[in-house]
């Protein structure tokens, strides 16, 4: 066999291996990996943790970079083929392990949010924040931090660029874009690794025309420090996003305060929102704290027009 032919075969093998590695998306953290003391007894061990509660793995759908969620909830590939996604056949559970009775879920410990009755429909939302320190006690907990968009009161879906600690059973910081919960299914895009101190950015941008709600959206998470980025494309499912979250913190498997980031806070800043006429608006945020699903760790929210600071005692 000639040298050129051998090199060509080796090169094709590398490409094939790279393709296989690319297709094998990381799986969200399994309930079975949680410490016994904090694992909800009502949730089966093969379920996984998401930013919207516990889901059966068959109801968590990964999209590659150029895939798109259609208005019917299927996955459209770049070559025009469609991957059918049926309704989820399994119940999902909230952070306390209670079976969810509807699509709406808000198990967040601390957040800033607008009053949807007084908020216009959004065309774009962008925020920046810094990856905090890892927790002093890394013992299987999962932490999520994100801005987000929903429609209220008729919630069908939520758009979220999410910073996660141990989101994929990795005891590390990652960024992933999510959309939950059409027909009981939660969708997410590719994941990028980020590090403590990295400046990160989450953008949700719609395709609005003539002042009408946006039929499709693009969520982009970027590590500004390293240049890494991941993109997620989705239908709005007919939603007009009039409920904005400037910053939210959600946790699973936390039973001591030292399982939070060691620096004790996270700051979402450069929060910019535009309406369907592409006019920048001035959000009025309401602070909310609900520590019923976590230990008492001095939670507080301080939100101004372009900034939301969430603090806790680690």
Domains delineated in the chain: 25-311 (2.60.120.1270)
CA distances from 117 to 113, 152, 154 (A): 12, 8, 12
The closest of 307, 284, 257 to 129, measured between CA atoms, is 307
Omega into 153 within 30° of 0, i.e. cis?
yes
* Cβ atoms 45, 32 nearer than 8 A: yes
Query: In 10 A of CB 24, how many CB atoms?
Result: 9
Q: What is the pLDDT of residue 205?
A: 98
Q: What is the pLDDT of residue 291?
A: 83
Q: How far is CA 155 from the centre of its chain?
A: 16
Q: What is the pLDDT of residue 224?
A: 98
Per-residue pLDDT of the chain (314 residues; tens, 9 = 90+): 443 344 333 333 433 333 333 446 889 999 999 999 999 999 999 999 999 999 999 999 999 999 999 999 999 999 999 999 999 999 999 988 999 876 665 679 999 999 999 999 999 999 999 999 999 999 999 999 999 999 998 888 999 999 999 999 999 999 999 999 999 999 999 999 999 999 999 999 999 988 898 999 999 999 999 999 999 999 999 999 999 999 999 999 999 999 999 999 999 999 999 999 999 999 999 999 998 878 999 999 999 999 999 999 99
Residue 190 and residue 202: Cα distance in Å, rounded? 14
pTM here is: 0.91
Q: Rounded to the nearest 5 degrees, what angle is found at the Cα of 19, between the Cα atoms of 14 and 22?
A: 125
Query: In 10 A of CB 289, how many CB atoms?
Result: 16
Residue 35 and residue 31: Cα distance in Å, rounded? 9
Q: What is the pLDDT of residue 293?
A: 79
């Amino acid at each position: 066999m000639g040298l050129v032919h051998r090199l060509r075969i080796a090169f094709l093998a590398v490409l094939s291996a790279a393709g296989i590695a690319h297709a094998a998306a990381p799986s969200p953290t399994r309930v079975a990996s949680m410490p016994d003391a904090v694992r909800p007894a009502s949730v089966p061990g093969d379920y996984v943790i998401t930013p919207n509660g516990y889901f059966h793995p068959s109801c968590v759908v990964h999209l590659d970079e150029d895939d798109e969620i259609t208005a019917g909830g299927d996955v459209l590939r770049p070559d025009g083929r469609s991957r059918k996604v049926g309704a989820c056949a399994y119940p999902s559970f909230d952070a306390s392990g209670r079976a969810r009775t509807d699509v709406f879920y808000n198990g967040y410990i601390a957040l800033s949010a607008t009053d949807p009755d007084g908020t216009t429909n959004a065309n774009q939302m962008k925020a920046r924040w810094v990856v905090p320190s890892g927790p002093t006690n890394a013992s299987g907990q999962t932490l999520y931090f994100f801005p987000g968009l929903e429609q209220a009161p008729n919630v069908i879906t939520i758009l979220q660029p999410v910073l996660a600690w141990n989101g994929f059973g990795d005891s590390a910081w990652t960024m992933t874009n999510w959309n939950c919960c059409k027909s009981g299914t939660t969708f997410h895009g590719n994941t990028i690794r980020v590090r403590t101190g990295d400046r990160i950015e989450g953008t949700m941008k719609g395709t609005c025309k003539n002042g009408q709600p946006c039929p499709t959206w693009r969520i982009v998470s970027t590590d500004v420090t390293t240049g890494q980025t991941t993109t997620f494309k989705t239908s709005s499912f007919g939603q007009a996003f009039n409920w904005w979250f400037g910053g939210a913190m959600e946790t699973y498997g936390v039973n001591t305060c030292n399982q939070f980031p060691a620096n004790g806070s996270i700051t979402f800043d450069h929060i910019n929102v535009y309406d369907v006429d592409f006019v920048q608006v001035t959000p009025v945020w309401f602070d909310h704290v609900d520590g019923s699903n976590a230990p008492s760790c001095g939670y507080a929210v301080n939100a101004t027009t372009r900034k939301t600071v969430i603090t806790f005692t680690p």
